[in-house]
Structure 1
Amino acid sequence: MSLSKRAAAEFFGTFWLVFGGCGTAIFAATYPQYGVGFAGVAAAFGLTLLTMAFAIGHISGCHINPAVSIGLVAGKRFPASELLPYIVAQVLGGIAASAVLYAIASGKAGFSLANGFASNGYAAHSPDHYSLCACFVAEVVLTAFFLLVIIGSTDERAPKGFAPIAIGLCLTLIHLIAIPITNTSVNPARSTGPAIFVGGWATHQLWLFWVAPIVGAIIGGLISQIFFATPQPPIREEMSK
């Protein structure tokens, strides 16, 4: 499969992740009387990742997250030469999904970006007002463990065919923990799309949701490589087995 086709898969995969996860947060989380709440948003992110892992895992590896791609490079499970096209496709997918969400959301009377549009934030813009330091630590630790699950579940020694389930459930758990803290990022592309439309505080705080997930992903990738790794092919090939 050519790199351009794999990058296209990453674009559509990231689109679905942001559209499904952030869309649930925007439209359904606080819907009068029947809102799905934090648990529903967490499930939505997990389901979008799980479904896309089955749909495009055999094509691109279904990273759909710049931090994951970088962490896989650190863990020697993805070639650095292919990193930039993947990240560009992921970020564009997140922005495109946010544009469609904005087009839908703005069609309702009284819509306002002041509600946050599912953006990530810290301090005054943390859902429960956690400090910058607390938010940074949470994003680093959660992304590190996300990489451990991704690399471990796609290891050639792991049970075959179950990786998408493990990874999707892991993302669900991450959101159950972190929605009150940062609104949960662990994914710079997911954070960038909504922030561009909100502007102001969301773009000013966006740096944390690039730096912390990337740091965490590198830590997770290095832990996997140093302590648990055996020589094996890149994740895009592993997911096709």
Structure 2
Amino acid sequence: MKKVLTIAGSDSCGGAGIQADLKTFSAHLVYGMSIITSVTAQNTQGVIDAYDLPVEVIEKQIRAIFNDINVDAVKIGMLSNSRIISTVADLLKFYRAKNIVLDPVMISKSGFKLLKDDAISSLISNLIPICTIITPNIHEANLIAQMDIKNIDDMKKACRIINDLGARYVLIKGGHLNDDAIDVLFDGKGYYQFKGNRIKTKNTHGTGCTLSSAIAANLAKGFDIVESISKSKNYIQNAIENSFSIGLGVGPVDHFYEFRGVEVIKYER
């Protein structure tokens, strides 16, 4: 069984973060492991507060895993400050981690800042150069590329800018565009587009975490980058299609829809 590690924050209501990552790994039949960087107090209505674990504890968690277990892929989520970012980056380089998927979590859907302003430069200089692929949404790509993305052409331009920062592959998610939900992948030479259906539901909590974790799982299983993204897009579309409400706000996607006997839709790239 392939083994995939997530380095991210904990979501107390289970829809995003570490909890969503582990559910996604399980759904892809890979063994999930976790490094918790922050503990958040949140529910379907938003993030109430967050507490960063001491850097020394994060470092010990990472060393404990890599000193014992072969890691086939790494998903990086919420790293809220520059000390955590530099520590994680240094350790991943030291252990020569492979198949690193960076989901640059910066702000929650409710508007809570999950990445401190002064840590953005650290993310750009320390994490982007070592990642296999980075998966920002439009707002995150705006901050990283320092431009205003309004359409597909802007997404392609931003992909090139972020690729120049060191990322081998750049996937900008287009869910926040007003037009079709098209994601754009740049591999350093050319572009691929992944079109997704817009599903009428408010329950989209954890979609970014889930997609990036699915990509990590598929890379660990040996699929190439395009196939990994295509399979992951199909997975997240079905998970959103089968999302459900558990509280008063934004509910989670269904990570285990395939195991519930529901209709599985094949979305074409």
Q: TM-score, normalised by structure 2?
A: 0.26
**More strand by percentage:** 2
Please report the TM-score for the alignment, with normalisation by the length of structure 1.
0.28
Structure number with the higher helix fraction is 1
Higher RCO (Cα < 8 Å, 6 or more apart)? 1
